[in-house]
Amino acid sequence: MINQERWFKFSLCEQMGHIGSEIGRARVWEEKNDMNARNQALERALELIDTTKDDARLYKRRKELCYLREVVADQYIGADVYNGSLKDLEKYCLDFALVARKNR
């Protein structure tokens, strides 16, 4: 369970970078055919997304975060409604991490 107080000290870019890291872990486990570890990483990503949605500073970004959650959940259940991949999701989130690193 993530500590909300600590999590809310991160910028959106840092939060998204951490979410991207979990998605990256899920991708690696999927490539190794370890679906249990993959699903655990995706569950952590979903938990981080949910915690990020609760960040009052990000009220105007909530719609985007809800969409991200939907796409990650789609990957989790394997429905492939959005025709995406974990690699695509990882890149989307980690681009935020690059911005966070640049802004330090």
User: Where are any strands of DSSP class E within 17-103?
Assistant: none
| Residue with the two structure tokens 């259940």 | 77
| Residues 40-66: tens digit of each pLDDT | 999 999 999 999 999 999 999 999 999
Residue-wise pLDDT tens digits, 78-89:
998 999 899 999
Residue in this structure with the two tokens 């609760």, named with its chain if needed:
54
Q: How confident is the model at residue 104 (pLDDT cuts 50, 70, 90)?
A: confident
The C-alpha atoms of residue 30 and residue 46 are separated, in whole angstroms, by 17
Q: Residue 91: which pLDDT band, with cuts at 50, 70 and 90?
A: very high
pLDDT range class, residue 2, cuts 50, 70, 90: confident
The pTM (predicted TM-score) of the whole model is 0.94
Contact 46, 73 (CB under 8 A): yes
